[in-house]
């Protein structure tokens, strides 16, 4: 086992998780433990809406969907969307020295809201229509 992800509360971790953690420790000798506040992962509805907005922007601009998605994430960093980090917690940058946005599949509901706001801001700036209503 190379990875263990679990949610604990004030009662601690359950027995199965404790055993899995002990097993990893025996197998690897040392492990990295990161404690962070629990936040809900992005919702399916948020993900669908983000994909819809990216598709509509791509269609109206002639750009590829994946390129639009990356542009929106980069734009969103300037308005509070998190930056990806390496295993040591250092911010990641690309070959141009630009900050690398957090992959959207790792975003929580609050972070994903920033992506949706970025879609609206870009649509407004470039006079694009991205309404969630049927086209």
Domain assignment present for 135: no
Do 30 and 72 belong to one domain? no
User: Phi and psi at residue 110, in whole multiples of 5°?
Assistant: -65, -45
pLDDT surpassing 60 at residue 125 = yes
Do 121 and 64 belong to one domain? yes
Do 49 and 96 belong to one domain? yes
Q: How many domains are there within the chain? A: 2
Whether the Cβ atoms of residue 99 and residue 93 lie closer than 8 Å to each other: yes
Mean pLDDT is lowest, of 71-85, 100-114, 120-134, for 120-134
- CA distances to 2, 7, 21, 59 from 28, rounded to whole Å, are 9, 22, 11, 49
pLDDT surpassing 80 at residue 2 = no
Do 19 and 73 belong to one domain? no
Distant-in-sequence, close-in-space partners of 110: CB < 8 Å, separation ≥ 6: 39
Do 103 and 48 belong to one domain? yes
First to last CA, the chain: 47
Tell me the Cα Rg of the chain.
19
Say what the pLDDT of residue 17 is: 82
Do 29 and 95 belong to one domain? no
Do 76 and 105 belong to one domain? yes
Do 59 and 118 belong to one domain? yes
Average pLDDT on 42-69 reads: 95
Do 6 and 31 belong to one domain? yes
Tokens 């946005």 belong to 101
Whether the Cβ atoms of residue 47 and residue 78 lie closer than 8 Å to each other: no
Domain that residue 104 falls in: 44-125
pLDDT surpassing 70 at residue 1 = no
- Crossing angle, helix 109-125 and helix 65-77, to 10 degrees? 110
Distant-in-sequence, close-in-space partners of 91: CB < 8 Å, separation ≥ 6: 83, 84, 85, 99, 100
What ranges in 10-99 are assigned the alpha helix state H? Answer: 15-28, 44-61, 65-77
Domain assignment present for 131: no
Domain assignment present for 111: yes
The model carries a pTM of: 0.71
Do 76 and 93 belong to one domain? yes
Do 52 and 115 belong to one domain? yes
pLDDT surpassing 70 at residue 133 = no
Domain assignment present for 103: yes
Do 93 and 112 belong to one domain? yes
């Amino acid at each position: 086992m190379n990875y263990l992800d679990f949610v604990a509360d004030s009662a601690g971790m359950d027995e199965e998780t404790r055993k899995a953690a002990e097993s990893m420790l025996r197998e690897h000798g040392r492990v990295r433990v990161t404690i962070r506040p629990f936040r809900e992962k992005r919702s399916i509805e948020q993900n669908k809406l983000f994909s819809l907005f990216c598709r509509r922007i791509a269609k109206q601009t002639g750009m590829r969907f994946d390129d639009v998605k990356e542009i929106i994430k980069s734009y969103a960093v300037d308005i509070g969307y998190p930056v990806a980090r390496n295993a040591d917690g250092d911010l990641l940058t690309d070959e141009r020295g630009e900050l690398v946005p957090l992959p959207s599949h790792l975003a929580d509901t609050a972070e994903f809201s920033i992506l949706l706001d970025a879609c609206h801001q870009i649509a407004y700036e470039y006079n694009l229509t991205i309404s969630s209503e049927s086209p």
